[in-house]
Amino acid sequence: MLNINLSTLLLQVANFLIMVFILARFLFKPLKEMLDKRASRVTSAVDEAEKATREAEELRLEYEKRRENIDVEIAALRNEARIVVDETRQQMLQEAYQEIEAMRVRAKEELEQQRADALRLHRSKIGELVATLTRRMMEDILNPQLHQAYLDAFLDQLRSVQLDGRISISGEETVSAELITATPLTQEDKARIGTTLETVVAQPIDLVCRVDAGLIAGAMVRLGDTLIDGSLQGQLQQLRSRYEEEIE
């Protein structure tokens, strides 16, 4: 049979309770608080990790979305750039074509102008040559009868001239006239021309005569600012002028 000492048992129980109290007060409670804090930190770290993971996922999704948008924008920019390049190229080609057409037109106009100038110069030289040859031929065949024929033709020309308003005359004043002939006139021819002029002008004529062999044949008369040319030289000059104006 066990011999249990009650006082010793009570003392041991009391020591045990004291030890439990001390351990609970100074060991288990701080340990529990430390474990709780550690668990809280772990939980917080896990939450932060999950939050960071979510944020990283959101960032990844946003990045993917932005990347898609950027790809779309890049494609749009490339397409726009291609359109601009095509339009610019078309515009440059059109401007080049227009410039080429303008150059072609200018070249054609310049060629036509050069052709016209060359033709005009050619006709001028031919006209001058024809007039010179005709003058030389006429000078070789002119005789008194031809000179008289040209003078008679000049008188017919005077009779057909209309001088209304072309010379200034008033009352019974004498009108001055200069008669230029290729050869010296006889008194009869001078009187005939003076009478014809007085009939045409209907006024007395103060006639001054002079000779100019350059007229070749015929005559011309000057009444103020009016010149009536019936000379062979004048006819040759008119022939030359008409020939030079006939440029195709």
Tens of pLDDT, residue by residue over 130-187, are: 667 666 766 667 788 888 888 888 888 888 887 655 555 555 578 888 999 989 989 9
Q: What percent of the chain has pLDDT over 90?
A: 6
Task: Extract the tokens encoding 145.
Answer: 């009868």
Residue 127 lies in a domain: no
> Domain check: are 164 and 238 in the same one?
yes
Output the pLDDT for position 211: 93
Residues 81 and 155 reside in one and the same domain: no
Q: Does 240 lie in the same domain as 179?
A: yes
- Considering the domain boundaries, does residue 113 fall inside one? no
Is there a domain that residue 96 lies in? yes
For residue 59, tell me if it sits in a domain: yes
Q: Of 85, 101, 117, which residue sits at a domain end?
A: 101
- Mark which of 73, 101, 129 sits at the end of a domain: 101
The pLDDT confidence band at residue 225, using thresholds 50, 70 and 90, is confident
The answer as to whether 63 is a domain residue is yes
Q: Residues 95, 1: one domain? A: yes
Where residue 228 sits, what CATH number does that domain have?
3.30.2320
Indicate if 94 and 165 belong to the same structural domain. no
Of the chain, the end-to-end C-alpha distance in Å amounts to 164
- Residue 114 domain-assigned (yes or no): no
What's the pLDDT at 138? 67
- Within a domain: 128: no
* Distance between CA atoms of residues 159 and 177, nearest Å: 16
Structure confidence by residue, pLDDT tens digits, 78-136: 888 788 878 887 888 788 788 888 888 888 888 788 777 776 676 667 666 666 766 67
**231 domain residue, yes or no:** yes
The per-residue pLDDT for 180 is: 93
DSSP letters, 80-147, are HHHHHHHHHHHHHHHHHHHHHHHHHHHHHHHHHHHHHHHHHHHHHHHHHHHHHHHHHHHHHH--HHHH
pLDDT bucket at 51, cuts 50 / 70 / 90? confident
Q: Are residues 15 and 78 in the same domain?
A: yes
Q: Is 0.75 surpassed by the pTM of this model? A: no
Same domain, 157 and 211: yes
Q: What is the mean pLDDT of residues 50-77?
A: 78
> Domain tally for the chain?
2
Which structural domain, as residue segments, surrounds residue 174? 142-245
Q: What is the mean pLDDT of residues 47-68?
A: 79
Cβ atoms of residues 245 and 216 within 8 Å: no
Give yes or no: residues 92 and 176 share one domain.
Answer: no
pLDDT at res. 99? 83
Q: Give pLDDT, residue 219.
A: 92
Mean pLDDT of the chain: 78
Task: Tell me, yes or no, whether 92 and 149 share the same domain.
Answer: no
